[in-house]
């Protein structure tokens, strides 16, 4: 069975999308492939982002921001834009969601911590751990990714 692919996208792939992907990988385990990319990727991930993940036991220190490509989007099951208005390729059969999150560029770990926790909660609402989770008006991935990973909506 093919694993579903979840792709988090933001502007620089150094903060929001890196957080989302790291947290989703932690929650999904081996049930999904989780990637992230940026429209205009930074050279390195944010030190505050890496430090905030380390605080909760996630070592993402080797992460290198990646550029969004049509191929990455085409191979995704679900694409989550971490802010509105990103120029993300729109491909039929791919599910899209937009989260309106602030850009943590230049933030230290103390400032990023609440954003990390908020994103962690949003990721938990996706149901990547296989248990149903309430997502009023949002994506329900527990069934979409886990029970029917080969189907694209």
State residue 130's pLDDT score: 65
Q: Provide the pLDDT confidence category of residue 145 given band limits of 50, 70 and 90.
A: very low
Q: Are 66 and 43 in contact (CB under 8 A)?
A: no
pLDDT tens figures, 113-131:
999 999 999 999 988 876 5
Contact present, 2 and 31 (Cβ < 8 Å): no
pLDDT in tens, 1-42: 688 899 999 999 999 999 999 999 999 999 999 999 999 999
Does the pLDDT at position 144 exceed 90? Answer: no
The mean per-residue pLDDT over the stretch 72-83 comes to 97
Domain borders along the chain are: 5-147
Q: Which CATH superfamily hosts domain 5-147?
A: Response regulator (3.40.50.2300)
3-state secondary structure the chain: CCCCEEEEEECCCCCHHHHHHHHHHHHHCCCCEEEEEECCCCCCCCHHHHHHHHHCCCCCCCCCCCECCHHHHHCCCEEEECCCCCCCCCCCCCEEEECCCCCCCCCCHHHHHHHHHHHHHHHHHCCCCCCCCCCCCCCCHHHHHHHCCCCCC
């Amino acid at each position: 069975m093919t694993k579903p692919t979840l792709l988090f996208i933001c502007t620089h792939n150094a903060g929001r999308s890196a957080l989302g992907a790291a947290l989703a990988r932690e929650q999904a385990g081996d049930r999904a492939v989780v990637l992230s990319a940026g429209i205009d990727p930074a050279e390195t991930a944010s030190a505050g982002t890496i430090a905030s993940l380390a605080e909760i036991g996630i070592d993402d220190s080797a992460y290198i921001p990646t550029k969004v490509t049509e191929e990455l989007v085409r191979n995704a099951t679900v694409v989550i834009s971490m802010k509105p208005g990103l120029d993300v390729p729109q491909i039929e059969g791919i599910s899209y969601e937009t989260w309106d999150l602030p850009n943590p560029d230049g933030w230290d770990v103390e400032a990023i911590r609440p954003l990390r926790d908020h994103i962690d909660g949003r990721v938990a609402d996706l149901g990547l751990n296989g248990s149903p989770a309430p997502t009023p008006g949002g994506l329900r991935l527990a069934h979409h990714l886990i029970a029917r990973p080969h189907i694209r909506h």
